[in-house]
Amino acid sequence: RTKQHPDNDKFKIQDNLLYFEDRVYIPEGPLRLRVLQSHRLRKESPVFHVGDKVWLLRRNIKTSRPCDKLDYRRLGPFCIQEKINPVAYRLELPASMKVHPVFHVSLLESYKESTISGRLQPSLPSVEVENHEEYEVEEVLDSRRRRGKLQYLIHWRGYDISERTWELAANLANAPLKVQEFHQRYPEKPKP
């Protein structure tokens, strides 16, 4: 025979004295069980303020990634522009997202700055030009020919050194001044 823990009686008493919000006693049975479970599982909604940074859970947002399993779980961080009501907030989203900027608090998580030195912060959002994403060129660093095609080494504005990429000359049609500056500095490098 096993002994009961003394706290079990406390929980039984609390369950027997359960009153709903309007002070109506809930009788025994399935309804009482549902109310008990809902109160135990309920947690307070987090409170955010205008200007706070938050992550947006990507639960209902489609992206251009090939499958959900490999997609980002959350997007951002984004700044809160306005508190609509206690459970809805308007976020400052880039125009390229093309979604309504008001979200329920259950889709938001507070953002905490990384305290680890040297750790990369999340990438900045891209700019959309003519229905495709475009990133801003900060500087053209080098040029080369690969398989007969001209490529440029690009440092992107707002990104780390590790994010530099080799891009085809055709992909830089919206940055002719940066390409021209590069060739003026390095006239001996491959050019079109």
Q: What does the pLDDT read at residue 52? A: 93
Q: Which residues pair with 148 in a beta bridge?
A: none
Q: What angle do CA 131, 134, 135 make, to 5 degrees?
A: 160
CB atoms within 10 A of CB 189: 14
Q: What does the pLDDT read at residue 122? A: 57
Q: What does the pLDDT read at residue 67? A: 77
User: Helix, strand, or coil here: 21?
Assistant: coil
* Extents of the domains making up the chain: 53-110, 132-185
For the entire predicted model, the pTM comes to 0.47
Q: Half-sphere exposure of 144 toward its Cβ, with a 13 Å CA cutoff?
A: 9
Residues of the chain with pLDDT under 50: 19-22, 124, 127-130
Cβ neighbours of residue 75 closer than 8 Å, sequence gap 6 or more:
55, 56, 58, 61, 97
| CATH of region 132-185, choose from 3.40.50.1980, 2.70.70.10, 3.40.50.800, 2.40.50.40 | 2.40.50.40
Q: What angle do CA 48, 122, 177 make, to 5 degrees?
A: 120
User: Which amino acid, one-letter code, is at 3?
Assistant: K
